[in-house]
Amino acid sequence: MTEKKENRIIVSVLGVDRVGIIAAITAILAKAEANILDISQTIMQGQIFTMIMVVDMSGAAVSFDTLRKDLTDKGQELGVQIMAQHEDVFKFMHRI
């Protein structure tokens, strides 16, 4: 029995807090059949929304590029910045 290798991405969100940000982003991930492995979100100083998610795309119904575009488009609609990166790229960019 061969185990599927995880294809993980990091999704980060930054912007002014408003109703529906988490719902909109998780709806896109659910439609893409991407699995949220971990999520952390914070409201800083009562108005700055930040969220980071680790997402497994190994069973996703869409490509990474398609998902990234869908998330970016939704971010523009919501007035927040959404970035999606492969986990390896994220780790490389943020190493000490």
What ranges in 1-96 are assigned the alpha helix state H? Answer: 21-31, 64-78, 87-93
User: How far apart are alpha carbons 90 and 54 in whole angstroms?
Assistant: 11
pLDDT at 87: 76
The string of pLDDT tens digits covering residues 1-59 is: 444 556 999 999 999 999 999 999 999 999 999 999 999 999 998 899 999 999 999 99
Torsional class of 33: left (φ above 0), alpha (ψ -120 to 50), beta (otherwise)? left
Alpha carbon distance 11, 80 (integer Å) = 13
What are the φ/ψ torsions at residue 23 (nearest 5 degrees)? -60, -45
pLDDT of residue 46: 86
Domains and CATH numbers, the chain: 8-93 (3.30.70.260)
